[in-house]
A = this chain, B = another copy of it.
Amino acid sequence: MTRLWNDPSDFADEMVVGFVRANGRYVRQVYGGVARSTAGPEPEVAVVIGGGSGHYPAFAGLVGPGLAHGAAMGNLFASPSAHQVESVVRASERGRGVLLSYGNYAGDVLHFDEAQEALRADGIDCRTVTVTDDIFSAPADDQAGRRGIAGDLTVFKLAGAAAARGDDIDGVERVARLANERTRSMGVAFSGCTLPGAEEPLFSVPEGRMAVGLGIHGEPGLDETDIPTAAGLAELFVECLLDDAEIPDGVTAQGARVVPVLNGLGSVKAEELFVVYARLADLAEERGLTLVDPQVGEFCTSFDMAGVSLTLLWLDDELEQLWSAPADTPAWRSGAVDTAALTALDPDADVEPERTIGPASDASREAAHVIADLLVAVRDVVDEHADELGRLDAIAGDGDHGIGMQRGARAAADEAATVVELGAGAGTLLTNVADAWADHAGGTSGALWGVLLRALGERVGDDETPSGATLADALTAASDAVKEHGRSDVGDKTMVDALVPLAATFAEAVSAGKDPAAAFTTAAEAASRAADETADLLPHKGRARSHGEKSRGTADPGAVSLALIATTVADRHRRS
């Protein structure tokens, strides 16, 4: 279990700070993650990697000369937001384009794709190669549907080496695709990890049993067996990964040169890995493989999960040359990097999010002040109810809704205070707050709060005090945007169940002539009732696998937190 933290909701941020303080030679902190702290004499194509935190040394530990240029770092096991990815790319890109590479998970794909779109719109040549090495996550004929695990290392390393030798963006993309096609992995696990502040492990495997094919966040595998001997595990790995279907096209096992990466996922220790490796090396050689530069250690972890994975990288001459090319990062090195040729970059650049604070009317600035105050109240009420929201979520989900809302609301209040000082109007405040919330909260709920706040900001604008009609229009737009972005509707047991009646009731009350404060009070009451009523619903079939039958009789935490915030805003506004 995880034992050392301060406030669990600050864990990921503090981790980045400590990581950068210890590794300033390689990395500097930028908004949304880290970028290299040095630059070579010639600009390279940037390789920007990333994903959720909790997998160290993936991803930040792999940034440095010869490997990645930057890593977008989401919260624990949560994708970085599009805004964060974009920010890390802007701090890393030097005019030759950027390759985005990351493990193939729905949340990451959503946010990295959104960032790619924005970057391309800005004229940056942006390509994506997702890592799809886990053979247990989809059949061999659906490699693109597989998720990414420790094969991240081999794909990132080869792409980074191609960038370092001066390849253009087409060349780096080609190498990354080839590396991914030639990388296959499988993992097993004996127990799950416990996130900071959580009381229970994220998942568990029965005592004495081994889950085969388990993903790095506890995604289910195909099989469960008794824990084998070390030799038995080596045999299982070799059997599965040397299955004909898993030997890449154009390669034959006999005589092939292969880099094996035997990866501990957290609390399986080096000594055990070496005992497994002793047998693995014999078996692989019996099958005709030549093992090149074996890697035994921790390359992609899952906090303190007890598990092991094996990755095979099937080399050709070009890939072998790229594999052995010099690289020097906090957690992975090869050869000898010419550090004398590197120039140190300003460690304080790119640390703040990019903000454009446009002109605003006095009235709108006044409204921004009011909203900033409301966001302080929201932060406080979310803090107060975080445990309760977590417990509600734990019944059918992974229990992190409370902590995610807490991180989002805290970041929103901070960001609001900052941009109010910079003279932002209400609209600009809301759009900046939208990014801050999504960047810090993580997860789907964080992204949806970002969408909601951004939609409000865009309608409210910076010109005048928002009228009741403007606010009604803004709330309706926000409600529509959340429905569209979250692909959900009323009755699916999500925050939409509270948001739609909130917007509709407010609009109705305003058009019936109520003043905005009174209208919002009525609307918040409607939202609260609707949130309570989600207890009678079962989630839509398409929803995340973590929801389901178990949530019958329990209100949806997303709807409850929306109603809670609406009620707080109504109370506060009425009193002021």
Contact = CB atoms under 8 A, between A and B. Distances in A.
Given A54-B271, A272-B2, A272-B4, A277 B18 contact: yes
A15 B293 CA distance: 18
Interface string A256-292: 0000001000111111111111110100000000000
Interface string A16-54: 111101110100000000000000000000000000011
A229 interface: yes
A241 interface: no
A301 B293 CA distance: 24
Nearest to A7: B229
Interface stretch (A102-110, A302-310, A514-522, A546-554): A302-310
B276 A4 contact: yes
A278 B14 contact: yes
A21 B16 CA distance: 35
B3 A274 contact: no
Contacts of A14: 230, 274-275, 278-279
A295 B330 CA distance: 10
Nearest to A306: B3
B296 A2 contact: no
Interface residues of A, number: 60
How many monomers of this protein are in the complex?
2
Given A3-B227, A5-B230, A16-B274, 15 more contacts: A1-B306, A4-B276, A6-B231, A18-B277, A18-B278, A18-B296, A21-B281, A22-B274, A22-B277, A22-B294, A53-B271, A56-B270, A61-B270, A267-B304, A269-B301
Contact of A337 (B2, B6, B19, B336): B336
Contact of A56 (B16, B61, B269, B333): B269
Contacts of A272: 2-5, 196
B5 A275 contact: yes
Nearest to A270: B56
Contacts of A18: 273-279, 281, 296
A15 B1 CA distance: 26
A61 B274 CA distance: 12
B21 A278 contact: yes
Contacts of A298: 270
B270 A267 contact: no
Nearest to A16: B274
Contacts of A4: 227, 229-230, 233, 268, 272-273, 275-276, 308
A269 B304 contact: yes
Query: Which 7 pairs, one residue from A and one from B, show the smallest C-beta to C-beta distance?
Result: A18-B274, A18-B278, A336-B336, A18-B277, A56-B270, A4-B272, A267-B267
A274 B308 contact: no
A339 interface: yes
Interface string A395-430: 000000000000000000000000000000000000
A273 B61 CA distance: 14
A227 to B, nearest CB: 6
6 contacts: A3-B268, A4-B229, A17-B274, A18-B273, A18-B278, A270-B298
A166 interface: no
Contacts of A278: 14-15, 17-18, 21
A308 to B, nearest CB: 7
Contacts of A221: none
A449 interface: no
Contact of A3 (B53, B57, B190): B190
Nearest to A230: B4
Contacts of A337: 336
Contacts of A5: 229-230, 272, 275
Contacts of A21: 277-278, 281, 294
A1 B3 CA distance: 17
Contacts of A269: 2, 56, 266, 301, 303-304
Contacts of A11: 271, 275
A486 B275 CA distance: 33
A279 B13 CA distance: 12
B275 A6 contact: yes
Interface in A209-249: 227, 229-231, 233
Contacts of A56: 269-271, 274
B281 A6 contact: no
Contacts of A231: 6
Nearest to A17: B278
Nearest to A61: B270
A328 to B, nearest CB: 9
A286 to B, nearest CB: 14
Nearest to A267: B267
A278 B190 CA distance: 31
Contacts of A273: 4, 18
Contacts of A6: 229-231, 275, 279
